[in-house]
Structure 1
Amino acid sequence: MPSRLNDLSRLLAASELKPVWLIAGAEHLQVMEAADQLRARCRELGYAEREIHDVDHRFDWNELAMSGAAMSLFAMRRVIELRMPTGKPGREGSAAISAWCADPPPDTLLLITAQEWSRAHEGAWYKSVDKVGVAMPVWPLKREELPGWINARMKSRGLKATRDAVELLAERVEGNLLAAAQEIDKLSLLVGETTLDVETLEASVADDARFDVFRLTDAAIAGDASRALRMVGGLKAEGAEPIPLIGWLLSQLRVLSRLASAGGNISQAFQAERIWDAKQAGFRRALKAGNAAHWERCIVQAGLIDRISKGRAQGDAWREIERLISAIASPRAGADLLGAQS
């Protein structure tokens, strides 16, 4: 049976871990933190080696089999990670993962993470993982669940807050757990042992004028190119790394691509993607200005920037980010900038 995120502590408390783990979902913060907890437990149990494979359309699935067959250099336990953003390994990948699950290598833990997940992902390979290991889909929080998540996270950071303050923060972050986590970490430093009330929260959040990736993305999707580009300049001046920015931009571009391809009732599509009312106007504007093909081109551009940032392609990552932001904010005027590396 698939496991839930609430089961993680119990599963990690075991003296021996299951040989294969899948942690997947669009709630990137929860996926990331769950995977971090698993890695920490692996280190406690002597998994000293770690090997990472980034799965894209060019990935050679024979590498997984070769990794399983290879002996550890130091005869130690090891973790092999498959980072599979779309959660879709394809026919060859499905066969490779199923073969691994049929005969897991000794002293080796396979961790598969994905940034997209739905019931449609649950194919044969998923069932193989669930049979031999831990399959843990991370489903988006419902609106009514968000205050409880915020309250629990505040307590974990030693922060006490009134119920109204918790509700206000839930409203401000609009379902964005990464933004909520950022605000909670900041507030824990500002407030200390004092109970956080609405007035203090209002002042703290309203005075936060730093450029961040969430506001940048919102501005670009809403069509405010000049503001978004100023934010890019601010992030660059602050010494920000392009990779986290691209990760968030890519997730929003995939949402735009799915919405553009969905057809039918757009309100239902917004609900499925957990796009709150306050942000729907921006997404409607973007969908009217750019079609599905445009958003796919933007995704390709984001992939290029990711490779540049990791030293796998030539170019100026910040210049390409500016081109991507322009194309998001103004699909018709900025489309020609995509792929225009110079």
Structure 2
Amino acid sequence: MPPARRAPTSSGPTWDAVEPAPVVLVTGTESLLAERAVDRVVALRREQDPEVEVTRIDAAAYRPGDLRVIASPSLFGEARVVVVEGLHAGTDEALADVATYVEDPADDVTLVVHHGGGQRGRRTVDALRSAGAVVVTCEPVKKDADKVAFAAAELQRASRRAEPAAVRALVEACGTDLRELAAACQQLVADTTGRITVAMVEQYHGGRVEATGFRVADAAVAGRAGEAVALLRHALATGTDPVPLVAALAAKLRTLAKVGAARGRGLDPGQLGLAPWQVDRARRELAGWTPEALAAAITAVAQADAEVKGAGRDPVFAVERAVLRVASSTRAQR
């Protein structure tokens, strides 16, 4: 049987401390932590009952009545875990059925609902809260100090010790995206032995500063020309080739263009092949852009791409000029 129902606290448990309950709501835009919270609940229920049946429902492809059928009493009384994924992109029927279900949840079912943020489905989220769901909030980890704490905890969970300076170096090398940082920790754990040192981090990540190409792109798109050029020059000085730097700029602008086009045409951003956090971030960044400025920036980066691949005589000059053009384009609109 699932644990007894409990009243939610004001803040709720963290992703790594949540326990199974009749209804668990995992919300927030940090997809990695949300996935881990869901996986933790499922794993703990399997520890309690190895025969527990786990069913995952894609809310975007939901059909009316699916939840009630899956959660209906079983002939043999097996315990079940039902995971509703992506409620923020769910159909109207998914939103309605989840709200109805939590008014009278089944005794032998643990329902885990993931909502990746945004306004769609907020009424259903409120209904889950009102029904006493345990709420796990997974927001982006933005501060460097929090990223260092996350990386240290990742290594500790793997029973590995690390020099404090090594953890800081790891964040500097891979700290733009939490998923990339977690993967870097896993790589070090798998490929090294003993205490993790700065030398080990530099061996695998080449002394780069926070996924350099993408950090340059982030600064340029935000209009921070000085920061973008400083990061660019550091990358070039430490041996990064201009080609991947231009590729990072291009990837960033393509994401903005995709999300902007989806918004302008009323399309569902969930169909773009992007993670929810990427869509949310692009929406915020688009506030500093007009379609004309974005088109000009894409053209500038396309020119740089051709030049760094042989059409120009000075690849370093080409990529720096592209960075400045992108940064000046967005800043001019603010």
- Counterpart in 2 of 1:206? 206
1:90 offset after TM fit, Å? 5.4
**2:273 maps to which of 250, 256, 260:** 250
Instruction: State the Cα distance separating 1:141 from its structure 2 match.
Output: 0.9
Q: Within 2, Cα distance between the matches of 1:129 and 1:31?
A: 17
What is the distance in 2 between the residues matched to 1:186 and 1:59? 37
In structure 2, do the counterparts of structure 1 residues 122 and 160 end up closer, same or farther at CA, with 3 Å as the change threshold? Answer: same
Question: Residues 2 and 134 of structure 1 are in contact (CA less than 8 Å); yes or no, is this contact kept in structure 2?
Answer: no
SS state at 1:6 partner? coil
Q: Distance in 2 between matches of 1:263 and 1:207?
A: 31
Taking structure 1 as reference, are residues 256 and 67 closer, same or farther at Cα in structure 2, changes over 3 Å only?
closer
- The 5 Å alignment of 1:4-153 reads 4-6=12-14, 8-9=16-17, 11-12=18-19, 17-46=20-49, 48-56=52-60, 58-69=61-72, 71-84=73-86, 87-89=88-90, 91-114=92-115, 116-118=116-118, 120=119, 123-130=122-129, 131-143=131-143, 144-153=145-154
TM-aligned CA deviation for residue 94 of structure 1: 2.7
Paired with 1:182 and 1:8, the residues of 2 have a C-alpha distance of 17
Distance 1:163 1:251 in 2: 34
1:198 deviation in Å? 1.8
Inter-CA distance 28–75: structure 2 relative to 1 (3 Å threshold)? same
Q: Could you list the runs of 5+ residues in structure 1 that have no partner in the other structure?
A: 209-213, 225-246, 267-283, 291-342
Deviation track 1:62-83 (CA, whole Å, cap 9, x = no partner) reads: 21222233x3253211111211
1:189-204 residue pairs with structure 2 within 5 A? 189-193=190-194, 195-204=195-204
Partner amino acid for 2:164? R
Letter in 2 for 1:289: I
C-alpha displacement of 1:253: 8.4
Mark the structure with the bigger radius of gyration: 2
User: Does the Cα contact within 8 Å between 2:162 and 2:197 map onto a contact in 1?
Assistant: yes
Give the secondary structure class of the aligned counterpart of 1:93. helix
Alpha-carbon separation, structure 1, partners of 2:276 and 2:96: 29
Which TM-score applies when normalising by structure 1?
Answer: 0.58
Q: Percent identity?
A: 20
CA distance in 1, matches of 2:93, 2:203: 54
Size of the alignment, in residue pairs?
A: 235
Is the contact made by 2:80 and 2:108 (CA closer than 8 Å) also made in structure 1? yes
- Structure 2 SS opposite 1:132: coil
Give structure 2 stretches of 5+ with no counterpart.
1-8, 209-213, 216-243, 252-269, 300-334
> d(CA) in 2 for partners of 1:287 and 1:39?
48
Contact persistence 2:63–2:93 (CA under 8 A): no
Distance in 2, matches of 1:173 and 1:199, equals 15
Seen in structure 2, the aligned counterparts of structure 1 residues 204 and 285 have a Cα distance that, compared at 3 Å, is farther
Cα contact 1:221–1:286 (8 A) shared by 2: no
Cα distance in structure 2, aligned partners of 1:253 and 1:289: 23
**How far apart in 2 are the matches of 1:72 and 1:219?**
56
- Equivalents in 2 of 1:286, 1:199: separation in Å? 42
Q: Secondary structure at the match of 1:113?
A: strand
Give yes or no for contact 1:24–1:113 (8 Å, CA) kept in 2.
yes
